Amino acid sequence: MKAPVSFLKQIQRHWVEILVVSLALIATILAVIFVSIPARQKAAYANVSIKGEIVRRIELNQDATYQVDVPHGTMQISVKNGKIAVFSSPCPGQYCVHQGEKEHIGDSLICAHEGVAIYLVGEGETTEITI
Amino acid sequence: MALRMSPRSKSIVSFFLLPLALAGLFSCKGEVHHIEYAYAYGTNWEIHLYEGTKADAEAISDYIRTSSQVLDLDARHCQNGIYALNHQEEIEASPFLIEAIQLGQRIESQSHGAYSISIGALTKAWLENLEQGKILEPTSVASYLEQAQATTVTVQGSKAKKEGSGEIDLGSVGKGLCLDHVKAQLTEKGIRKYLINGGSSSLLIGENSSSDGSTKVHLADAKGRYFNAKNIAVSNSAISRQRYEVDGHVYSHIVDARTGIPELAYDALCLAGNGAGLLDGLSTAYLALGKDYANELENQGIQVAFMKGGEVVYESAGFLS
């Protein structure tokens, strides 16, 4: 009759298989986590609309300043390091200027006084917004 | 050393590698995303559909634009809308106008006098003055209030009748009521994944493809605070978007009908629940009333967050993170 093989000896014999199965399990868990946690996506471009009409599309991959004619004057919009902001506006409240920089899909910059909305857009769904 | 594995080990490894392959496949899945824009009810709208067709998104956008004509105070061409109601004694009213009137009156009845659909002229006068850096004289405010209090609207069947010289303004329920109809259209088409944003003040949030299907809604007036929304309407009344400072006082576009003055104690009020039209009107009324009345909203199943000075000063239990 064969003597029973000790647990440690079994591990020694099959260590390669144990290692491969463990790595496969860890990789699966990581993959599931990666797919299920949505990262906030950066926008590819911004649509500038005045009273619902898109007047300009601004790419966010190039630093630049843009001038847009709005009902009461000119609005300056700046893009830097993939972020967009209203640099100056003729509106009295300056809320649009104080909103700061935006960079993610679903973000927007609003100037109610001038009827301007700047929407940050990309291919992905909007899973986060600011109101 | 050659890598040798028993058949059982190979099966175990395959069992775990299969989900890995599927996970890789799902992360590359093609996504549907139709975007349309509209300008209606005095604000910019975004329509995001993550199901359905581009034609569905365009239909929603068209509906938002055309429905706004009924409640547009300056739409002279709309014979069954609010312009006609304000300029004629009795009209054959659009069903949408009748719904808006009845909703507005319902909110009036529960607002302790802070909300009125008859203060259109007072609101207009305030905005005209504030744009020029001036405020209304107390005598003017009193006169407009008296005019509003003497104005009534009655609905009988398809007819609407206004008595009195005040101006009826239903802008505070219009966006939300429009969203109620949009939701009905989306439900009819079987579209569950969407986000309809009316100027960041009235929103309809369906589902999306994230792990729990919810959208994270950040509050601009309370940095760092947010809530997760799914299959819900959200209304956010905030003074920051139309803010005027005169002689050290901060005024907005929301007039407290009790005082006739658009100077409020809070910066913003965010409501989440069912019925976008109801939430739209209630957020205007209760921003004027204040957090002491929050329980009246919570008793209706509405979640509440009052904001002031960049902070949340009142929130319903479990609402915000």
How is the beta sheet containing B152-156 ordered, strand by strand? B90-92, B159-163, B152-156
Domain chopping of chain A, boundaries: 7-36, 45-121
Cα B143 to Cα B112, B132, B164, B311, B313: the distances in Å are 21, 21, 13, 36, 35
Per-residue pLDDT, B20: 59
Structure ipTM:
0.86
Domain chopping of chain B, boundaries: 34-88+171-315
Is A11 part of the contact surface with chain B (CB cutoff 8 Å)? no
If we measure between CA atoms, which residue out of B255, B251, B263, B244 comes closest to residue B284? B255
Whether B59 and B67 have beta carbons less than 8 Å apart is answered as: no
Per-residue pLDDT, A36: 56
Taking an 8 Å cut-off on Cβ atoms, the answer to whether A35 and B13 are in contact is no
Taking an 8 Å cut-off on Cβ atoms, the answer to whether A113 and B242 are in contact is yes
CA distance B218 to chain A (A): 4
Whether B93 and B80 have beta carbons less than 8 Å apart is answered as: yes
Residues of chain A with pLDDT under 70: 1-5, 33-40
Per-residue pLDDT, B243: 83
pTM of structure: 0.81
Q: Which of chain B's residues have a Cβ under 8 Å away from the Cβ of A53? A: 37, 39
When the candidates are 3.10.520.10, 3.40.50.300, 3.40.50.620, 3.30.70.100, the CATH number that belongs to B34-88+171-315 is: 3.10.520.10
Whether B261 and B215 have beta carbons less than 8 Å apart is answered as: no
Per-residue pLDDT, B3: 55
Residue of B nearest to A18 (CA): B9
B window 31-70, beta carbon within 8 A of A? 31, 33, 35, 37-40, 42-46, 48, 50, 65
Taking an 8 Å cut-off on Cβ atoms, the answer to whether B242 and A25 are in contact is no
Per-residue pLDDT, B12: 65
Residue of B nearest to A51 (CA): B39
Per-residue pLDDT, A23: 87
Per-residue pLDDT, B302: 98
Per-residue pLDDT, A127: 87
Handedness of CA A26, A29, A35, A39 (dihedral sign): negative
B window 236-265, beta carbon within 8 A of A? 236, 240-244
How many CB pairs (< 8 A) connect A and B?
Answer: 142
CATH topology of domain A45-121: mini-chromosome maintenance (MCM) complex, domain 2 (2.60.320)
Question: Tens-digit pLDDT profile for chain B (321 aa)?
Answer: 455 667 776 666 666 666 556 555 555 445 688 999 899 998 889 999 999 999 999 999 999 999 999 999 999 999 999 999 999 989 999 999 999 999 999 999 999 999 999 999 999 999 999 989 999 999 999 999 999 999 999 999 999 999 999 999 999 999 999 999 999 999 999 999 999 999 889 999 999 988 899 999 999 999 899 999 999 999 999 987 778 889 999 999 899 999 999 999 999 999 999 999 999 999 999 999 999 999 999 999 999 999 999 999 999 999 999
- Scored b (16 or more CB within 10 A) or e, B212-226 reads eebbbbbbbbbeebb
B window 190-229, beta carbon within 8 A of A? 193, 195, 197, 199-201, 203, 208-211, 215-220
Average per-residue pLDDT in chain B?
A: 91
CA A113 to CA A116: how far, in whole Å?
8
